[in-house]
Amino acid sequence: MPVNSFDNYPMSWKPEKKVLKRPFYESIAALLEQDIINGYLAPGTKLPPQRELADFLDLNFTTITRAYKVCEKKGLIYAVTGKGTFVAPNAARSITISTDKITNCIDLGFVASFEQSNGIVAEVIQEVTRKKYVEQLLNYNDPTGIPHHKTAGLNWMKSFGIQTDQEHISIVSGAQNALAITLTALFEPGNRIATDLYTYSNFIELAKMLHIQLVPIPGDEFGMLPNELEKQCMQLNIQGIFLMPSCSNPTTIMMSDIRKREVATVIRKHRLILIEDDIHAFLTAGIISNYEQPMFNLLPEQSIYICGTSKSICSGLRVAYIVYGEAFREKILQAIFNINVKTSSLDAEIITELILSGKAHEIVSQKQQLAQDTNDIYAEYFFERDLMGHPLSFYRWLSIGESSDGVLLESELQKHGVRVFHSDRFLSGSTTPNKYLRIALSSTNSLDELKIGLERLKKYLI
């Protein structure tokens, strides 16, 4: 007797046969998407094997495969070789992190930039507006950046170990803009990019919007495991890899230089495009004793290097430097013009003046001291937890064991007067039993407010 003769056959998902229309794969994909978004299929649910679902629906196996592929490209489901297909952890909600206004609540969620140093920036803005050539900063000229702005950027990045020339650097509107440009220029819908298991949530959302599939790779305290990356590259057609080696968001992990070289070997072997988001380089180069170089130097012709200034200098000016090899130059320039036309030369002039005057380094010193102060305060409240990762991170990664649903926990904490973000927001793929909270240390108006927020958090968790 065929399996589909059993109406009560146990399956995690049984789409209604009568509502299916041609083409069947599109109809099945639409039903699956609807049930995920409406919450009928919870994150982490294992879906029926494709052959089993094909038998149940009296359809061809390849029809189910095509339907699953449609939903996989949308970021709704993911496949694990040898284990099956699962509902993605954040398929039914947006995990984009922004500065949503909250009331009666201390924000330890959004990672700001220690805005106390913006007074220095404001003074420089006034100086820039008095310059004789200020009107020349207000046109469409130099879409990739005025030459002297690029020169300042090159000098800024030298302290992080990056050396390139003006032909291979562009100025864009922040690191997130650089990521959008890179994905649009160099990847296509359906392409796969390897990432850390926990990674930058806004990158996850960007990839989802562009229908790029993320492949989660496990790691340890030194960063992504090269043997696990090698394994996935052997099993799947992976085109790129996204890393934040200096200070991974959200885990704060710093890749050791040995691990960088090991991972670079795999990247080189499989000809992956490396996207290196080095927004935290200013907290690492020259401070961390065992820091040698960014990964870009190991793979200059396979890499896109992104150096934002929102954390190091000023978040509101939205200026970042993007460095690329010759093989990517034409496509990156085309994407910059199509997406941005150009980045504000006025903003770039302010950043340039801050760099050339030495005030950018003054700001960095202030932020490093504030980062030290806030990490010391955090240790007072959670002293029993090991402070893994970057010692001056603007956020901490707090283990909370096998906790309940992330959305529910975030909501409960807000009721207790503190906002933090649960680790589920940062999952690039499969769910894990261990749960964490990412706690921002750089967003409160004062150190006293930070202490109150951490006190509320600790009281709830005890």
Question: What does the pLDDT look like over 426-456, one tens digit per residue?
Answer: 999 877 778 999 999 999 999 999 999 999 9
Rg of the chain (C-alpha set)? 24
Nearest to 391 by CA among 404, 374, 415, 410: 374
Per-residue tokens: 90: 């954040």
333, containing H or E segment? helix 326-340
Instruction: Report the chain's terminal Cα–Cα distance, integer Å.
Output: 56
pLDDT, averaged across the chain: 91
* Predicted pLDDT at 83: 86
Answer yes or no: is pLDDT of 147 > 70: yes
> Residue 282 and residue 307: Cα distance in Å, rounded?
9
Taking 50 as the threshold, does the pLDDT of residue 177 lie above it?
yes
Q: What is the DSSP letter of 253?
A: P
Report how far residue 235's alpha carbon sits from residue 245's, in angstroms, rounded to the nearest whole number.
Answer: 25
pLDDT for 432 equals 76
- Cα 394 to chain center, whole Å? 15
Q: What is the pLDDT of residue 385?
A: 60
Q: Where are the domains of the chain?
A: 3-87, 95-462
Q: Which helix (H) or strand (E) holds 155?
A: helix 147-158
Residue 462 gets which letter from DSSP? -
- What three-state secondary structure class fits 61? helix
More reliable by pLDDT, 263 or 90: 263
Q: What is the DSSP pairing of strand 219-220 with strand 223-224?
A: antiparallel
| pLDDT bracket for residue 4 (50, 70, 90) | very low
The CATH label, of 3.40.640.10, 3.30.390.50, 3.40.50.700, 3.60.15.10, for the domain at 95-462 is: 3.40.640.10
Render pLDDT for 323-362 as a digit per residue (tens, 0 to 9): 999 999 999 999 999 999 999 999 999 999 999 999 999 9
pLDDT tens digit string along 90-137?
777 776 666 666 778 999 999 999 999 999 999 999 999 999 999 999
Torsion (CA) 197, 254, 404, 205 in degrees, nearest 10: -50
In degrees and rounded to multiples of 5, residue 409 shows phi and psi of -65, -45
- 3 state DSSP class of 32: helix
CATH 1.10.10.10 fits 3-87, yes or no: yes
Distance in angstroms (rounded) separating the CA atoms of residues 328 and 7: 54
pLDDT at residue 239, rounded to an integer: 98
Residue 242 and residue 201 in contact, taking contact as beta carbons nearer than 8 Å: no
pTM of the model: 0.86
**Residue whose token pair is 């503190």:** 418
With contact defined as beta carbons under 8 Å apart, do 110 and 443 qualify? yes
Q: What pLDDT does 326 receive? A: 96
Question: Are the C-beta atoms of residues 363 and 354 closer than 8 Å to each other?
Answer: yes
Strand, helix or coil at 194? strand
2 has a pLDDT exceeding 60: no
- The yes-or-no answer to whether 3-87 and 95-462 have a common fold is no
Measure the CA–CA gap between 409 and 23, rounded to whole angstroms: 41
The count of C-alpha atoms lying within 13 angstroms of the C-alpha of 58, restricted to the half-sphere facing its C-beta, is 9
Report strand pairing: 77-80 vs 84-87.
Answer: antiparallel
The predicted structure's pLDDT at residue 429: 81
Q: Which among 75, 70, 109, 71 is positioned nearest to 90, based on CA atoms?
A: 75
Give the range among 31-45, 153-167, 273-287, 432-446 with minimum mean pLDDT: 31-45
